[in-house]
Amino acid sequence: AAPDRPRRLAVLGATGSIGVSALRVAAEHPDRYAVAGLAGATNVQLLAEQAAAFRPPVLAVLTEAGARALAALLPAGYRPDILVGPEGYAAMARLPEADVVVSAIVGAAGLVPTLAAVAAGKVVALANKESLVLAGDLIRELARSSGAVILPVDSEHNALFQALGGAGLPDLPLVERLVLTASGGPFRTMPRAALEAATPAMALNHPTWSMGPKISVDSATLMNKGLEVIEACRLYGLPVSQVEVVVHPQSIVHSLAQLHDGSLLAHLGPPDMRVAIAYCLGYPERLPLSGPRVDLVKLASLTFEAPREDAFPCLSLARQALAAGPSHTVVLNAANEAAVALFLAGELPFMAIATTIEAALAAHAGCPVADARAIMDLDGRVRDAATKRAKGRK
Ligand code: NAD
Ligand code: MG
């Protein structure tokens, strides 16, 4: 049966890879979804096109100049409120007219708006994994008191969520371990020596997923899987010893849960983020979705192998940071964001991403990170120090 009224979405990071996919899902079910708000940072042209198509009453951008440019690009007769900057994103995340907030800003910039959505008791379709790496405990506590529902968009966590039966995760006490699958990235089989010369263009050329630049580099270093191990532990309250990583180059099995009788519950699907996004937007219903279907006979085989920890030290750095404590995962994330930005700018070799993070962790003794301000202060300090150290290395 059709719903009484469409579910209203606020999309933070609308102009990014996840944001665009979320709007494609919404466009496929115009009777089910309406857009209450759209926020982007840099691509004002695309944001204007999206706004013209969905006509949300509220938009948000990063700067005043961006707001003026956006206003000039909107069609005649359509005059939405345009919010500006971090405050604007947080206001968008709390928007009374929004039922579901899609948190798809990249990096630590997504933390404050994500916390605002959780505090406001929204249904949060959470793609911004960095916010769980920075403040997983805070987010869980806030959600418990506000009644917010956190639905993981990240394909691995979404797969586990589907395999284990949704929001209450009724099978969790029976879980012996979670197995996160990793594509292995573009450098899965590249010899360690050749990795020293890997360029940004090579790192951005992902074999199975099409994603934004930061997460593409994270996939090439395997830091993405490291962040996802932390994300899984924080989402489900499990120790790191219960979360394993297996490389699966075809990206068809999106993750598995092993239960205490040896059963493995898996979720399979095409490598298309719209599947996970659609599940979150429709939850607890499952709406039809167009697009590719998996042809198992054509694939013929699904393969699995151990990650090459020696060539991809970021994976074990993430596990070490998780074991060391909550401020260490803030340091891990900040140093990674700084190093990835330098690598993309051609100012840092690929393998120096890991050594930059390792140095930042070694220099950190632990500190309290009780609230967003303490977390963002530490994030800023580590970012600056890591950038300085990385630039001075030659
Ligand atoms: P992207 O780079 O394609 O898009 C990022 C979005 O964030 C853009 O809309 C951009 O305008 C906005 N943004 C960037 N900096 C901002 C700032 N300082 N303030 C406000 N907005 C800002 O990134 P993406 O690939 O869509 O990834 C988004 C998030 O989803 C990341 O946390 C990523 O780890 C996660 N994720 C992405 C995928 C994927 O397939 N792309 C899969 C799983 C998880
Ligand atoms: Mg993922």
- Among 106, 132, 139, 231, residue to substitute to test ligand 1 (most atoms within 8 Å of Cβ): 106
Ligand 1 in contact with 40 (CB < 6 A)?
Answer: yes
Domain 7-152 matching CATH 3.40.50.720: the answer reads yes
Binding-site members for Mn(2+) are: 154, 156, 228
Evaluate if residue 378 carries a pLDDT over 60: yes
In the predicted structure, residue 166 carries a pLDDT above the cut 90: no
Question: By mean pLDDT, which of 116-125, 159-168, 208-217 is the weakest?
Answer: 159-168
Q: Looking at the structure, give the CATH architecture of the domain made up of residues 161-270+296-391.
A: Orthogonal Bundle (1.10)
User: Tens of pLDDT along 111-146?
Assistant: 999 999 999 999 999 999 999 999 999 999 999 999
C-beta of residue 155 within 8 angstroms of C-beta of residue 273: yes
The pLDDT, as a whole number, for residue 171 is: 65
Instruction: Please state, in angstroms and as integers, the Cα–Cα distance from residue 184 to each residue in 124, 188, 245, 306, following that order.
Output: 28, 5, 10, 10
User: By C-alpha distance, which of 350, 309, 355, 386 is closest to 108?
Assistant: 386
Taking CA atoms only, the protein residue closest to ligand 1 atom 18 is 109
Report how far Cα 74 is from the mean position of its chain's Cα atoms: 29
Amino acid at 294: V
pLDDT at 23 over 70: yes
Q: What would the mean pLDDT of 90-94 be, rounded to a whole number? A: 98
Same fold, 7-152 and 161-270+296-391: no
pLDDT at 56: 98
User: What is the residue extent of each domain of the chain?
Assistant: 7-152, 161-270+296-391
Whether the predicted interface score ipTM is above 0.90: yes
pLDDT band, residue 345 (cuts 50/70/90): very high
Q: Give the list of residues 6+ apart from residue 304 with CB closer than 8 angstroms, or none.
A: 181, 246, 247, 248
From 15, 105, 124, 180, the mutation candidate for ligand 1 (largest count of ligand atoms within 8 A of CB) is 105
Question: What local confidence, expressed as pLDDT, does residue 210 receive?
Answer: 86
* 127 pocket-lining for ligand 1 (C-beta < 6 Å): yes
Q: Mean of the per-residue pLDDT values for the chain?
A: 96
- Residue 104 CB–ligand 1 contact under 6 Å: yes
Is residue 167 scored above 70 in pLDDT?
A: no
Q: How far is the CA of 68 from the centre of ligand 2 (A)?
A: 35
What pLDDT is attached to residue 391? Answer: 86
| H or E segment and range at residue 202 | helix 200-203
Cα of 16 vs centre of ligand 1, distance in Å, is 5
Reading across the β-sheet that carries 243-247, which strands appear in turn? 243-247, 175-182, 253-259, 264-268
Binding residues for NADPH are 15-18, 41, 43, 128, 130, 212
Nearest ligand to the CA atom of 181: 2
